[in-house]
Amino acid sequence: MTQPSPSRLDRQMDFLMEIDRLKSVHRATKLADGTRRENSAEHSWHVALFALTLAEHAPQGIDRARVIEMLLLHDLVEIDAGDAPVYGNHDASAVAEAERKAADRIFGLLPEDQGAHFRAIWEEFEAMQTPEARFAKSLDRFAPPNMNIANGGGSWAEYNVDFGTFQANVGMKILQGAPALWEWIAPRAKAVIDRLREGPKP
């Protein structure tokens, strides 16, 4: 007997069940209490709440709902491609290709119109050409160092990060989309990083 074609709702539910796998992708960043590493689904939820809470620090006229949409979608590709820690050594072109293939598969689970919309939102975030994308990327970079500050160093200690590296890998993205957030976090991050690099007091 011929099986009926999947309905629109079937495809939406296939997508929603597939993205549950993001809860099993672990990141370098630890929780604020330092007890374990966060997963990418937790990160996406938390950074979307950063956008909701910190929208007043975005450029004037920004579409907050679009920023939140980007942040909820931006890491879904890690289901297939995995997380590439910001301080790790990676082949950027290989990571980008793996993420494009993941986007093809994951957004392709949806009905065509919805999949195309989600894919366009993801690509906008990656390209960082709009004010919304730059603010979303700044929040994506702003959230993890706040975890490191809260837990006493986290991934900065593991990767032996100095402030110059933090500024280059993370700070420039924050500054580009949310200068006020960079001004706030820079001295706090520097104090923790400098203390880590000085080592324990004799």
Q: What is the pTM of this model?
A: 0.93
Pairs from 60-68 (Cβ < 8 Å, separation ≥ 24): 61/131, 62/131, 62/132, 62/135, 63/132, 66/121, 66/132, 67/132, 67/135, 67/136, 67/139
Question: Does residue 176 lie within any of the structural domains?
Answer: yes
Tokens 């997963």 belong to residue: 39
pLDDT of amino acid 44: 98
Q: Are 185 and 144 in contact, with CB atoms under 8 Å apart?
A: no
Domain assignment present for residue 74? The answer is yes
Q: CA nearest 169: which of 153, 150, 156, 188?
A: 156
Instruction: With respect to residue 193, please indicate whether it lies within any of the assigned structural domains.
Output: yes
- Specify the CATH number for the domain of residue 30: 1.10.3210.10
Q: Is residue 71 part of a domain?
A: yes
Query: Does residue 2 form part of some domain?
Result: no
Q: Is residue 1 part of a domain?
A: no
Residue 108's domain spans which residues? 8-198
In a domain, 75, yes or no: yes
Domain count, the chain: 1
Whether 3 is covered by a domain: the verdict is no
Residue-level pLDDT, tens digit, the chain, 202 residues: 566 678 999 999 999 999 999 999 999 999 999 999 999 999 999 999 999 999 999 999 999 999 999 999 999 999 999 999 889 888 889 999 999 999 999 999 999 999 999 999 999 999 999 999 999 999 999 999 999 999 999 999 999 999 999 999 999 999 999 999 999 999 999 999 999 988 765 5
Looking only at the bridges linking them, the beta strands covering 26-30 and 37-39 are: antiparallel
The pLDDT score that the predictor gives to residue 92 is: 87
DSSP letter for 30, please: E
- What does the pLDDT read at residue 199? 73
Q: What is the pLDDT of residue 77?
A: 98
